[in-house]
Structure 1
Amino acid sequence: MDIAALIMWVVTALGGFYMLGIWITHGGARGGTSRLPVPVIFGHFALAAVGLVVWIIYVIADETALAWTAFGLLVPVALLGFTMLARWIPVYQGRATTPAEGEQAAPAEKHFPVPVVAGHGLSAVTTVVLVLLTALGIGS
């Protein structure tokens, strides 16, 4: 199950990298009209990356404390992810506030493909469940 969690974590990360690239390319990191705060985006990314490294070390070392550490890192990652999802939904539905004159026409996150957002979210939930089950020793 630890390898399945690792695979899902990597799949989730790939979707996240893709969306981060879109967000940066469309000016999200420069502020503008983005509804996703820069610290939330990069906090989500950094915690997820550190957690992935801890999980890789867990897979190699098979120390239960590392599995629980990785799971503990996933909790704030998930909370930040839900925060971003909640802020993205109105942008996707077109209910975001109208930008002031001279600002970028659409928030950077408006360009996220819905299948990528959905896939990232579903694979993230799967990752969290697999990591938790592994930390609990279920399926070993």
Structure 2
Amino acid sequence: MDIAALIAWVVTALGGFVLLARWISRGGLRQQQTGTTRFPAPLVFGHFLLAAAGLVVWIVYLAADRSALAWTSFGILVAVALLGFTMLARWIPVHRTPATSAEDTTPAERHLPVPVVAAHGVLGAATLILVLLAALGVAGS
């Protein structure tokens, strides 16, 4: 279960990197001043940094086999999921709004690929469940 959680977390992180790179390359950071984006930079980077920190704690847990580290990772992952749901709630109305021809008024998150957003969310949920099961000691993890 521990290794399955690690694999799910890494694959989820790869999808997150794709989304982050796409948001930045489409002007997400520049749009902070104009208010065009619905994603505040602290929300985006908080999600990213907490997820990375949780992954590091999980890797340390795998090396040290201390249950407190597994529960710490789970707690961090809950916060990451809450930030992710916040971004999803902000992304859905932007995605549903018809695209405008003016690129400078189009939020950067409008360009996020739906399959990657969906896969990132599903894999994130699977990671959360796998980490919880591992922390509980299910399946001899």
Whether these two folds match at TM > 0.5 is yes
> After the TM superposition, which residues 31-110 of structure 1 pair with which residues of structure 2 at under 5 Å, given as runs?
31=32, 32=34, 33-94=36-97, 104-110=104-110
Q: Which runs of 4+ in 1 moved over 3 A?
A: none
Aligned with 2:37: secondary structure? Answer: coil
**CA offsets per residue over residues 90-134 of structure 1, 9 Å max, x none?**
0110179x8xxx881311011111000000000000000000000
Aligned to 1:123: 123
**CA offsets per residue over residues 3-59 of structure 1, 9 Å max, x none?**
000000000000000000000001101214110111000000000000000001111
Instruction: Mark the CA change 1:138 to 1:72 in structure 2 (over 3 Å): closer, same or farther.
Output: same
State percent identity of aligned pairs: 65
Q: What CA distance in whole angstroms lies between the structure 2 residues aligned with 1:19 and 1:51?
A: 19
Q: TM-score, normalised by structure 2?
A: 0.92
Q: What CA distance in whole angstroms lies between the structure 1 residues aligned with 2:64 and 2:79?
A: 24
Cα RMSD of the aligned pairs, angstroms, is: 1.6
Aligned pairs, number: 136
Q: What CA distance in whole angstroms lies between the structure 1 residues aligned with 2:55 and 2:20?
A: 17
Q: What CA distance in whole angstroms lies between the structure 2 residues aligned with 1:105 and 1:87?
A: 16
**CA offsets per residue over residues 61-116 of structure 1, 9 Å max, x none?**
111010000001011100000000000000110179x8xxx881311011111000
Q: What CA distance in whole angstroms lies between the structure 2 residues aligned with 1:36 and 1:24?
A: 11
More helix by share: 2
Q: TM-score, normalised by structure 1?
A: 0.92
Aligned to 2:138: 138
- Structure 2 counterpart of 1:6, which letter? L
Q: What CA distance in whole angstroms lies between the structure 1 residues aligned with 2:103 and 2:121?
A: 30
